[in-house]
A and B are shown apart, each in its own frame.
Chain A
């Protein structure tokens, strides 16, 4: 069962980025429950939820306040106890989309509504249902509903579970702290995943810059006699991208337009595993997460934050520094800069990075080929940009634009400062629009 442990495995392409993990030694601090929580109805990929509460309703912490009948969706829970005081429109910090949100004003009691605790002996369907009821989505940033990911089509045999603790984005340390401080919960969450998928072969992948997390989890595994292997990977961006990770660990390539289960693999994030633990063993819905507040703040921290908390209040808590004029949710490579700060923390916010905005002049491509060498998907970013600029969108498909995962490695190394990812995003939308309009 145990395969040889390779140290420093890596992949072709990608980039070395300064790690800047300022908060790797900061213990997670519990951020007080906010007086008011703003909870967007779409915090996941899939169908948005419909409210199941009315204005004036009293709600308890952990109570479902919005749900959907669709399979690919996840319910939203009250993150504080109190009264529903209204419905507003807000912007989700990570997608930038305008969505409906429920506003709850706290009664200061923080009275919980819990589900019944379960254990590993529960039937598989019950466990899956619990994960859905707890509103769990991929906490690495993808926000794909976890119960969907854990229900692969019947004809796909899963032989390996990968627990992703790479955290290859600079600055972000939330997964790192979760592994260190709540390693047991992560491992028990993984046992739930194993049980659901009837697959006992699991690998926890961690970049070698988190050595203490690697040895901590290895110790726990040894003590608990679990059949799980912790693999140390080279610190290189984007090591934690699903497809890259599967290639590095198992030498399997997820086919074009395919998903990990096409090669017998399911990848889950370590923080998601922790959320699964809380849902199953403690009956707690997903109403908070660990996130990193870092960059140009006086006291960079890892905070355990209730969803719906204002991002601005977190930055104020950590003390914004003079000269900072931009706030990014997510890491600096794939994160999004926020138009305004008065936005709620949602399920996918793993990091709030305060920084000075980068001013880069876009120049003409000098065809140096750096982007070609950096692309982990073996695409030709500069050729894509050339065709996008010329409006030749059919050519873009021929150059496999859909396989771009927008990791940003190409733009990071570009000496001409070309915002390649931005071009590609715009083109992808345009191609999608044309396909829709044409057929």
Chain B
């Protein structure tokens, strides 16, 4: 038996549970901001995701294990949903995410699309009205999200930034409070679980592009699901490239697509679809963006083909 005969103290479970622990911050914020129904959405999302995974594994005659991945999918899906979505829709989204987007592709490690985002996209396609019914935090008043055309603000820029930063605006459960997303995100960065390249390049690209189109970059960074997507969705291991360079391309691509959809598309928000689109490019990026091996010289290219 060759080595190594020692291993780092790390496992799939450890990574997944630390990730879900970090997600407790935006999850907690959503319950604080949007009340009891937010808690029900989260619980429904998580339970249906895990249960679907169990059934799928039984059907595929594989061993079911609580590796934490279904839990994360359920949690992530719930946090991207509007605060008043009926629970049966939440459950349906979770079933789609796990059964179709994940298990049908072969399970953890083989899925092409981020399961939570696929679930959200599925719900957006099925229930366009319910999926765009937003409310203000602390009150049951319907209100557009900051990115909607109906959104108006009279109290000055600084106050707007403050509201966006703290999360006191309409939006999906977990996306509104930039502050808590940042804390959770930096926690994951410090633990080495997510790669800094992705949030940095994704958010950076959006800021740069919106600025060059004459829009307010800070507003576009704080509003909508960008922060949430950049830290928790675009960093998904399975559906993003494995190399550093590949991840930079992935994140920059998602940034470009997000700005295109927000500024020129038919929808106010584009984070979900831009990440899903880039997911589709991931195998291609991994195939062609490869590091230069140690000791490689120009003449080696002809020798082995690319």
When C-beta atoms are compared, the residue in chain A nearest to B14 turns out to be: A415
Cross-chain pairs A/B with CB under 8 angstroms, 10 sampled:
A328-B5, A334-B4, A366-B109, A367-B240, A369-B195, A369-B243, A369-B247, A406-B2, A412-B7, A422-B1
Cβ contact within 8 Å between A411 and B242: no
Distance in angstroms between the alpha carbons of A355 and B1 in the assembled complex: 14
Please tell me the number of chain B residues within 8 Å of chain A, measured between CB atoms: 38
Chain B interface residues (CB < 8 Å from chain A): 1-8, 10-12, 14-15, 107-110, 195, 237-238, 240, 242-244, 247, 286, 290-297, 300, 304-306
Among A196-204, A317-325, A376-384, the stretch that binds chain B is: A376-384
Task: Please report the C-alpha to C-alpha distance between residue A239 and residue B143 in the assembled complex, in whole angstroms.
Answer: 59
Q: Which of A330, A365, A403 has the most CB of B within 10 A?
A: A365
Alpha-carbon separation in the docked complex, A369 to B240 (Å):
10
- For B306, the chain A residues whose CB sits under 8 A away are 398
Fill in one digit per residue for A357-371: 1 if any B CB lies within 8 Å of its CB, else 0. 010100111111110
Which A residues are in CB contact (< 8 Å) with B14?
415
Overall SS of chain A's interface:
loop
| Chain B proximity of A93: nearest CB distance (Å) | 13
- A48 proximal to B (CB < 8 A): no
Of A57-65, A176-184, A251-259, the one contacting chain B is A251-259
Q: A378-B292, A413-B8 are in contact. Are A335 and B304 (CB under 8 A)?
A: no
Is A335 a contact of B7 with CB atoms below 8 Å? no
Residues B6 and A412 in contact, CB atoms below 8 Å apart:
yes
Contact A255 B295 (CB under 8 A): yes
Provide the residues of chain B in CB contact with A334, threshold 8 Å: 2-4
Contacts A364-B110, A383-B242 known; A411 to B4 CB distance under 8 Å? yes
Across the two chains, which residue of chain B brings its CB closest to A371?
B242
Using CB atoms, name the residue of chain A closest to B193: A368
Instruction: Please measure, in the bound complex, the distance between the C-alpha atom of A364 and the C-alpha atom of B2, giving whole angstroms.
Output: 20
**CB-defined contacts of A414 to chain B, threshold 8 Å:** 7
On whether the beta carbons of B7 and A367 are closer than 8 Å, the reply is no
For the complex, is A138 an interface residue (Cβ under 8 Å from B)? Answer: no
B151 nearest CB across to chain A (Å): 38
Interface digits, A383-425 against B, CB 8 Å rule (1 contact, 0 not)?
Answer: 1000000000000011110010010100111111100011001
Given contacts A336-B3, A372-B242, A406-B2, are A380 and B291 in contact (CB under 8 A)? yes
Within 8 A of B (CB), among A1-49: 15, 17-18
Interface residues of A in 242-297 (CB under 8 A from B): 243, 247, 253-256, 258
> Once the chains bind, are A378 and B4 in contact (CB under 8 Å)?
no
Q: Given contacts A364-B108, A368-B15, A415-B10, is CB(A378)–CB(B294) below 8 Å?
A: yes
Chain A contact patch, size range? 35 or more
B293 touching A377 by the CB < 8 A rule? yes
Q: A128 CB to closest chain B CB, in angstroms? A: 28
Interface residues of A in 308-351 (CB under 8 A from B): 326, 328, 330-337
Q: Is the CB of A367 within 8 A of B109?
A: yes
> 7 closest A-B pairs (Cβ-Cβ)?
A408-B4, A364-B109, A369-B242, A377-B294, A378-B291, A368-B237, A337-B1
Name the B residues within 8 Å of A399 (CB-CB): 290
Q: Which residue of A lies closest to B239 (CB)?
A: A367
> Cβ of B195: which chain A residues have Cβ within 8 Å of it?
369
Is the pair A332, B304 in contact by a Cβ cutoff of 8 Å? Answer: no
Q: Report whether B243 and A358 are in contact in the complex, using a CB–CB cutoff of 8 Å.
A: no
- Of the candidates B238, B295, B296, the one whose C-beta lies within 8 Å of that of A243 is B295
Residue pair A422, B2 in contact (C-beta under 8 Å):
yes
Q: Is A303 an interface residue (CB 8 A)?
A: no
Q: Tell me, yes or no, whether A51 is within 8 Å of chain B by CB.
A: no
A332 interface neighbour in B3, B109, B305, Cβ under 8 Å: B3
B-contacting residues, A123-167, CB 8 Å: none
Q: Which of A15, A337, A364 contacts B5 (CB 8 A)?
A: A337
Known: A328-B5, A336-B3, A399-B290. 20 other contacts (CB 8 A): A256-B295, A332-B4, A334-B4, A336-B2, A353-B5, A358-B6, A360-B7, A364-B107, A367-B240, A368-B242, A369-B237, A378-B291, A398-B304, A403-B294, A411-B7, A412-B8, A415-B14, A417-B11, A421-B4, A422-B2
Chain A residues within 8 Å of B4, by CB = 332-334, 408, 411-412, 421
Residue of B nearest to A368 (CB): B237
